[in-house]
Amino acid sequence: MALQFGGAGAAEEPALVGGSFGTADSFPKDFGYGEEEEEAELEGGPGPGGPGGGAGGPGGGAGGADSKPRILLMGLRRSGKSSIQKVVFHKMSPNETLFLESTNKIYKDDISNSSFVNFQIWDFPGQMDFFDPTFDYEMIFRGTGALIYVIDAQDDYMEALTRLHITVSKAYKVNPEMNFEVFIHKVDGLSDDHKIETQRDIHQRANDDLTDAGLEKLHLRFRSTDLFINSLIIQGPFACFSSSNSGIEKAFLFDVVSKIYIATDSSPVDMQSYELCCDMIDVVIDVSCIYGLKEDGTGSAYDKESMAIIKLNNTTVLYLKEVTKFLALVCILREESFERKG
Ligand SMILES: Nc1nc2c(ncn2[C@@H]2O[C@H](COP(=O)(O)OP(=O)(O)OP(=O)(O)O)[C@@H](O)[C@H]2O)c(=O)[nH]1
Ligand SMILES: [Mg+2]
């Protein structure tokens, strides 16, 4: 089987990791995130599509039971929030996101039912109305670990920058520990020059606004992202195990469902290797879903038996092995060292 190496170019910062492309299917029910998308109790703001279509006020539901680490996805309407969430965590193909409907209330997605990584991601409707009394933003921000603000780089982004500033400054005042990420999104539609210029401009303006407001300590991290050319990547923060002398070129310990890597060896992470390993997981799970389940459809697509070796046409071998119910070790090896070690 000849697998192609991934996206057309690497994302600027390899820290950001992400979804894979390819298969349009969702995970089967027993493999996915279970009861996804608990909805917030209250409907969002005024009429559909109305400006400032307020976020649902989760009220008591926001804090209480939801003690898992929480990531918020915010940004103007149509900036691509739900698409990011669906592609990265639900195996939706980027093309399918064209048919996503606008979100009109907060979707809380629990990324923990079948995943090693425990957190919730809350996908917000286009615009939050901080003046809506039913929306208890203080409570939401207080329990939040990270806020991702998505800006559509193909659109006029002035309004987005204004909202970004309002949002992060309110969030920071409530919870100065929060991490702020700005996704300069949909950069697939921009030329390289335009992309760099847009990135620089957004960076500059957003930081100027913070300086003017005396919020220099509020740190925003910027990433250029898109779902169509580069895969979007979520951070694999722990580089801890070493593959030196093992004949392994690169090794990742993956959370299978989210494809977040929990650990990798000490060599630098390059996007091609990461994407190749993500593709390997997709191939294994897809084949297993089709041929690995029992005739009555029971059984699991990923279990103790899960193991696969794929030889590529460039003397490279991909190796995947189940480690725990949620984790897989995926390695890239040279063919000769694979044969030597057996
Ligand atoms: N070109 C391009 N289009 C994208 C990308 N990501 C998402 N889109 C498109 O952007 C449109 C809006 O996406 P959504 O995910 O619904 O946007 P949203 O931010 O959730 O919008 P609301 O729910 O209304 O707030 C869809 O047609 C997507 O296909 C991308 O990386 N590049
Ligand atoms: Mg949405």
- Domains observed in the chain: 70-230 (3.40.50.300), 248-339 (3.30.450.190)
Q: What is the mean pLDDT of residues 157-180?
A: 94
Q: Whose CA is nearest to atom 5 of ligand 1?
A: 186
Whether the CB-CB separation of 230 and 10 falls below 8 Å is answered with yes
Half-sphere exposure (Cβ direction) of 326: Cα atoms closer than 13 Å: 17
In 101-157, where does DSSP find H-type helix? 137-142
Ligand 1 centroid distance, CA of 222 (Å): 18
Q: Whose CA is nearest to atom 32 of ligand 1?
A: 186
Q: Kindly report, residue by residue over 30-87, the tens digit of the pLDDT.
A: 444 444 444 443 333 333 333 333 333 333 344 444 567 888 999 999 999 999 989 8
- 40 vs 112: which has the higher pLDDT: 112
Confidence of residue 262 (pLDDT cuts 50, 70, 90): confident
- In terms of average pLDDT, the best of 156-165, 236-245, 269-278, 295-304 is 156-165
- Ligand 1: which of 97, 154, 227, 231 to mutate, judged by most atoms within 8 Å of the beta carbon? 97
- For ligand 1, say whether the CB of 78 is within 6 Å of any of its atoms: yes
**Average pLDDT, whole number, for the chain?**
75
Q: Minimum mean pLDDT among 9-23, 31-45, 71-85, 146-160: which range? A: 9-23
Ligand 2 centroid distance, CA of 252 (Å): 31
Structure tokens at 230: 């580069």
Q: What per-residue confidence (pLDDT) applies to 235?
A: 40
Ligand 1 centroid distance, CA of 82 (Å): 7
What is the number of the ligand closest to the CA of 226? Answer: 1
**Which is nearest to 80 in space by CA: 181, 278, 225?**
225
Structure tokens at 100: 């996503």
Confidence of residue 340 (pLDDT cuts 50, 70, 90): low
pLDDT at residue 252 greater than cutoff 60:
yes
Confidence of residue 293 (pLDDT cuts 50, 70, 90): confident
Question: How far, CA to CA in Å, does 308 sit from each of 25, 288, 303?
Answer: 21, 10, 12
- For ligand 1, say whether the CB of 98 is within 6 Å of any of its atoms: yes
- For ligand 1, say whether the CB of 95 is within 6 Å of any of its atoms: no
Q: Give the pTM.
A: 0.65
Confidence of residue 337 (pLDDT cuts 50, 70, 90): low
Whether the CB-CB separation of 38 and 108 falls below 8 Å is answered with yes
Q: What per-residue confidence (pLDDT) applies to 198?
A: 95
Residue 254 phi, psi (nearest 5): -105, 140
Ligand 1 centroid distance, CA of 83 (Å): 5
Whether the CB-CB separation of 320 and 329 falls below 8 Å is answered with yes
- Class of residue 76 by CB neighbours under 10 A (exposed 0-12, middle 13-18, buried 19+): buried
Contacts 24+ apart (CB under 8 A), 310-317: 310/1, 310/3, 310/280, 310/283, 311/335, 312/1, 312/2, 312/3, 313/2, 316/249
CB proximity list for 327: less than 8 A, separation 6 or greater? 116, 253, 254, 255, 256, 262
- For ligand 1, say whether the CB of 227 is within 6 Å of any of its atoms: yes
Structure tokens at 139: 């409570």
